[in-house]
Amino acid sequence: MDIRELIRRRRGQMLVHSCIYYDMNDNIISDDQWQAWAEELHQLQTQFPEHCEIDYFDSAFFDWDGTTGAHLPYRHPSIYRKAELLLKNRKT
């Protein structure tokens, strides 16, 4: 997996799991797992800024430090649908 793909994956995870946590009052992963992904994403974006323009919530993650997902745009319709699907699949 290349750096851009990993950045996109981690951004998606931050958004979806923040949606589940903050908006749906639930969780699928532990706080420790979320924080590990957040720290990895922050490190990748700091180390490889040239790979951060991927047309996937670039402005929301510009200067993001990984401390919280509360202010991320996790209510975006595509993110919300993914969060709902994850919760539905977990409960079946």
Mean pLDDT of the chain: 96
Those residues whose C-beta lies under 8 Å from the C-beta of residue 51, and which sit 6 or more positions away, are: 3, 4, 7, 44
Given a cut of 70, is residue 91 above it in pLDDT?
no
* Number of separate domains in the chain: 1
- What pLDDT shows up at residue 92? 61
Residues 45-89: pLDDT tens digits?
999 999 999 999 999 999 999 999 999 999 999 999 999 999 999
Structural domain range at position 57: 3-91
Residues 7-44: pLDDT tens digits?
999 999 999 999 999 999 999 999 999 999 999 999 99
The Cα–Cα gap between 56 and 45 comes to: 13
